[in-house]
């Protein structure tokens, strides 16, 4: 069974930086296009960044230039470096394949607030 274990979230001030990570169990990250998704309170979960099998990347417009997605095949992990954070970046961050499967991890909470 595929499992996603997200970590690294926390409270950060506007303009700050944060890195979140996802350990993947039960499959190999390099076999799939992988994504980071965010769910803000009262809103639907949205895709914010993609790491393609080809090693290309893609970002949602609001995070482009501020977020960097990466993959560590040796550790079977997916990472998201976030900088110049603003309050709209707050939410629970999840990793999953793209398009997402039916199983989700617990996510990691990112709160941007002064």
| Distance (Å) of CA 55 to CA 45, 52, 61, 77 | 24, 5, 19, 14
SS3 content of the chain, % helix, strand, coil (to 5): 5, 50, 45
Residue where the block lists tokens 């350990």 = 23
Mean pLDDT of the chain: 96
Q: Are strands 108-112 and 91-97 parallel, antiparallel or unpaired?
A: antiparallel
One digit per residue, the tens of pLDDT, for the chain of length 114 reads 899 999 999 999 999 999 999 999 999 999 999 999 999 999 999 999 999 998 999 999 999 999 999 999 999 999 999 999 999 999 999 999 999 988 999 999 999 999
DSSP state of 26: S
What is the pLDDT at residue 102?
Answer: 87
């Amino acid at each position: 069974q595929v499992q996603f274990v997200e970590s690294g979230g926390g409270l950060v001030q506007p303009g700050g930086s944060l890195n979140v990570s996802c350990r993947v169990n039960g499959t190999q990250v390099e076999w799939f296009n992988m994504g980071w998704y965010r769910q803000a309170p009262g809103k639907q979960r949205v895709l914010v960044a993609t790491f393609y099998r080809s090693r290309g990347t893609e970002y949602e417009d609001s995070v482009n230039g501020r977020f960097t997605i990466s993959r560590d095949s040796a550790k079977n992990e997916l990472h998201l470096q976030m900088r110049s954070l603003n309050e709209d970046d707050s939410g629970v961050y999840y990793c999953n394949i793209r398009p997402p499967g039916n199983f989700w991890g617990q996510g990691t909470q990112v709160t941007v607030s002064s």
